[in-house]
Structure 1
Amino acid sequence: MKIGLQTWGSHGDIRPFVALANGLHAAGHEVTLVVTCVDSDRYAALQASLPYALEVVASPVEPDRAALERWGAALVAERNTSKQMRWVIERLLLPVEAEMYQASERLCANNDLVIGHYILHTVAIAAEKQGRPCVSVALAHGAVPSAFQPPLGVPNWGAFSNRLAWRLARWVLNRDFKRYADRLRAQQGLPPARDVIDTVWASPDLTLLACSPVLCTPRPDWPAHVRICGALDTPDSVAEGSVPEPLQDFLSAGAPPVYLTLGSMMSGSQEAQTLALLAEASRAASVRAIVQAPSGVPSGCANDGQLHFVSAAPHASVFPRCAAVLHHGGAGTSQAALRAGVPSVVLAYTAEQELWGRELQRLGVAGPPIARRSATVAKLAAALRQVTQSEPMRHNAQALGARLAGEDGVASAVGLIEETFAHRLARPVVGA
């Protein structure tokens, strides 16, 4: 098949699509991947090295670091989940919607099948307009309604309460977000969408949930087109490079350190202040620490025997050599820490990240997630001491890491795509 993929967001939203594109190419399909990164142009450097076509569109969406700082501070302070999401869409998606939609139209015109990020409505609209089958990829299982789980940010008080909560959540989501898709649909001569979840974000052809079955089992009331494929990741580095020699030396020079990374949240969230918080918490907890600082070693800091700053590092190579990982609760980082067999501390900025933090807590490999807006040196230090000194957490993490080691989410996703679409798209043999 000729398959086009399109994603938008941070590194955590792009890396899974790179992994899936790799898997589809290895399975013999002709692949084109379109990416839009909100805060970086790093993916342009990969174009020459990949075995399939990579198109980078409107990246970075926001090149102004000061603007990202202001936006990140507002995101941290906001408690309303819907407002957080609306800010993300209005500031980081809508400004480049036209360019992404043009790319979506090209993908649909040139491919048999398209695959898109769950909330990237341009792909679904272009596919509907051109009559192309479409796959939606969600990176968090909390996005799919079920009586067996509440909406993001809502306590789980049982099936009856969850059903009521989802009815309200649908109303809020349709009120706040359907209009964006409906505006573009109207421009393309299409009628308004019936429901933002069922007919804009999810695909009735196939919706893949890129979550490990260890973290999420299928809900009995999910529709048949919703399938869990497992985490989409690759053991190869994607834009991080290899392990730098100074970091190798630090890893070998003493007890296993903790790794502190807030991913793309760091670039828009008062980096200097946050790095100081992480460094002080590490020293207060008396742990060796690797601190991921996108801008390098911050002013007033220096690498020493206890702290080592890196701008980036391949998590798959470094996490297994650590005692624990403090992270923001992104889908990819949460599952990378679990796969590495190490406990977590989750410092969450959004409701979706709190979901991952609660899942890791439920599995016994993390304490309660800490909201970034209420984080203090004392809270983080106590959490770091807990995860590095807890034998049950270490044991649970190692056992779950061994289970995840046997999973191949990319192979599962490729199999589900082929199973769903190959017979519908098979070309007749010439001369038959």
Structure 2
Amino acid sequence: MKILILCYGTRGDVQPYVALGQRLGERGHHVTVATSPRFREFVESHGLAYAFINDDLLAILDTDGGKDLLEQPGLWGIIRNSIRMVRKVAPIQRALIRESREAAEATDPDFILFSPKLAHAPLIAGQLDIPVALGALIPMHVPTGELRVLLAPGRMNRPWLNRASFALIGFITRRVLSGYIKPFRAELGLPPRRFEPLESASGAPLPVLHAISPAVVRRPADWPETAHLTGYWFLDEPAWQPPDALRTFLDAGPPPVYFGFGSMAGRSPEELAATVLEALGRTGQRGVIATGWGGLKPEALPDNVMLIREAPHAWLFPRMAATVHHGGAGTTAAALRAGRPTLIVPFFGDQPFWGAHIHRLGAAPSPIPRGRLTADRLEAALKEMAGNTAMQKKAAEIGAAIRAEDGTGSAATLIEELASTRKVT
């Protein structure tokens, strides 16, 4: 079977789809991943075919406006800043639609799996008359009264409010994307129809495969049967070997604390690194700082701190005492699988959700939003993770449950079943 995966975003957004694609390839399917060219080598190095989707939307994050977007203190600040960038995004969005269609025409797939940022994919599948499914890394697409999502205040957990927040997210999504989806639908020769994010081109319910462990998010009882929790889609690198300096550092003392914020650079990565080093110095713990894609830029390091650019989380995190990160879905999953307490410092997007949710599970201190991060608050959280045995036990229990799952295998089986039905578009 030929499978096209349309995915877009940062490395953390793309990597789970590559993991699933690799698993599908091992089961005899030919998989093409259409994504940004910055990930072409990454995709092809895992035995998958690559198709082009432009990099322009990601490049915006490297601009001053993009960095401002990452440092907005709340949802409404993000919305205001996003509105100012609409004119830049509009031509990019139209290009993404065109390039997704070209990728499908070139690969002639039997099945399409797509990430939420490419919501036009069901129309392409409808034109080709093939099955399609949404692959989701966060549980904010299928409405439920059981989960607090981005717009629900942290201390309020009411089913009506939870559902209202999903309805508002759906309304915003339709308003933002309908202007692109409607003309594309007409271009494909499909009959007019109101855009609904969870519907196929014909209006049938869209299957949603959530790359989330049921040990972390319990499946809501009010979800439709088209919504699935498969377990996380991990991409392990068993052949990876650490640099000698990293191995020597880890062997020289007790497990350190990991600090990494990926591509969440913002305007002040030097200041953020200074806060981390000050708090860590007060606790007397050792640390590993990952500079990632510019999230942290320390100017000088004490002997008890090791600086790296990156390392596979599956190898590194189990060797840590705890982890501190931005709360991206992939990093959060890896931290939980390691079975160590984890502190989330959310910047934007789904990160506040994960910070609050993992705290409620008992595996993390209360999240500290980037705008409220101080050395005092970080010091207190580090001490809590080091001394709270109940938190350490809960993190270990969740980690053991995740390690017993086979998320990519479960998702691959579901895709094969969905493809066999053929007429779901």
TM-score (normalised: structure 1): 0.87
The residue aligned with 1:257 is 256
Superposed CA deviations along residues 99-118 of structure 1, whole A, max 9, x for unmatched, are 43334223433111111102
Per the TM alignment, residue 63 of structure 1 is displaced from its structure 2 partner at its CA by 4.5
Per the TM alignment, residue 180 of structure 1 is displaced from its structure 2 partner at its CA by 3.7
The residue aligned with 1:52 is 48
The residue aligned with 2:216 is 215
Counterpart residue type for residue 74 of structure 1: L
Counterpart residue type for residue 352 of structure 1: D
Per the TM alignment, residue 163 of structure 1 is displaced from its structure 2 partner at its CA by 3.4
Report if the CA contact (8 A) 1:143-1:151 is conserved: no
The residue aligned with 1:247 is 246
Residues 169-180 of structure 1: pairs in structure 2 closer than 5 A: 169-180=169-180
**3-state DSSP class of the match of 1:222?**
coil
Per the TM alignment, residue 283 of structure 1 is displaced from its structure 2 partner at its CA by 1.6
Counterpart residue type for residue 262 of structure 2: G
Distance of aligned partners of 1:54 and 1:237 in 2 relative to their CA distance in 1, 3 Å threshold: farther
CA–CA separation in structure 1 for the residues paired with 2:329 and 2:300: 30
Of 7-16 and 114-123, more deviation after overlay is shown by 114-123
Counterpart residue type for residue 343 of structure 2: V
Question: What count of residue pairs does the alignment treat as equivalent?
Answer: 416
CA–CA separation in structure 2 for the residues paired with 1:383 and 1:409: 31
Structure 1 unaligned segments of length 5 or more: list them: 426-432
1:3 corresponds to 2:35: no
The residue aligned with 2:228 is 227
RMSD: 2.9
Counterpart residue type for residue 223 of structure 2: W
Per the TM alignment, residue 415 of structure 1 is displaced from its structure 2 partner at its CA by 0.8
Distance of aligned partners of 1:168 and 1:205 in 2 relative to their CA distance in 1, 3 Å threshold: closer
Per the TM alignment, residue 122 of structure 1 is displaced from its structure 2 partner at its CA by 3.3
1:72 corresponds to 2:67: yes
Counterpart residue type for residue 307 of structure 2: F
Per the TM alignment, residue 198 of structure 1 is displaced from its structure 2 partner at its CA by 2.3
Of 84-93 and 416-425, more deviation after overlay is shown by 84-93
Counterpart residue type for residue 213 of structure 1: P
**3-state DSSP class of the match of 1:264?**
coil
**3-state DSSP class of the match of 1:402?**
helix
Alignment counterpart, residue 342 of structure 1, candidates 337, 340, 343: 340
Counterpart residue type for residue 102 of structure 1: R
Superposed CA deviations along residues 363-399 of structure 1, whole A, max 9, x for unmatched, are 2110111111111111111111111221111111112
CA–CA separation in structure 1 for the residues paired with 2:338 and 2:89: 33
Distance of aligned partners of 1:12 and 1:374 in 2 relative to their CA distance in 1, 3 Å threshold: same
CA–CA separation in structure 1 for the residues paired with 2:192 and 2:325: 39
CA–CA separation in structure 2 for the residues paired with 1:226 and 1:93: 30
Report if the CA contact (8 A) 1:348-1:372 is conserved: yes
Per the TM alignment, residue 34 of structure 1 is displaced from its structure 2 partner at its CA by 1.2
Counterpart residue type for residue 282 of structure 2: A
Per the TM alignment, residue 203 of structure 1 is displaced from its structure 2 partner at its CA by 7.9
Residues 184-223 of structure 1: pairs in structure 2 closer than 5 A: 184-190=184-190, 194-199=194-199, 204-223=205-224
CA–CA separation in structure 2 for the residues paired with 1:175 and 1:102: 20
Distance of aligned partners of 1:100 and 1:294 in 2 relative to their CA distance in 1, 3 Å threshold: same
CA–CA separation in structure 2 for the residues paired with 1:56 and 1:224: 33
CA–CA separation in structure 1 for the residues paired with 2:353 and 2:127: 35
The residue aligned with 1:104 is 100
CA–CA separation in structure 1 for the residues paired with 2:280 and 2:43: 38
Per the TM alignment, residue 166 of structure 1 is displaced from its structure 2 partner at its CA by 3.6
Report if the CA contact (8 A) 2:10-2:58 is conserved: no
CA–CA separation in structure 2 for the residues paired with 1:36 and 1:371: 29
Counterpart residue type for residue 17 of structure 1: Y
Distance of aligned partners of 1:423 and 1:188 in 2 relative to their CA distance in 1, 3 Å threshold: closer
Per the TM alignment, residue 345 of structure 1 is displaced from its structure 2 partner at its CA by 0.6
Of 190-199 and 121-130, more deviation after overlay is shown by 190-199
CA–CA separation in structure 1 for the residues paired with 2:80 and 2:405: 33
The residue aligned with 1:324 is 322
Residues 413-428 of structure 1: pairs in structure 2 closer than 5 A: 413-424=411-422
Percent of matched pairs sharing the same residue? 30
Report if the CA contact (8 A) 2:5-2:34 is conserved: yes
Residues 98-137 of structure 1: pairs in structure 2 closer than 5 A: 98-109=94-105, 110-137=108-135
1:365 corresponds to 2:360: no
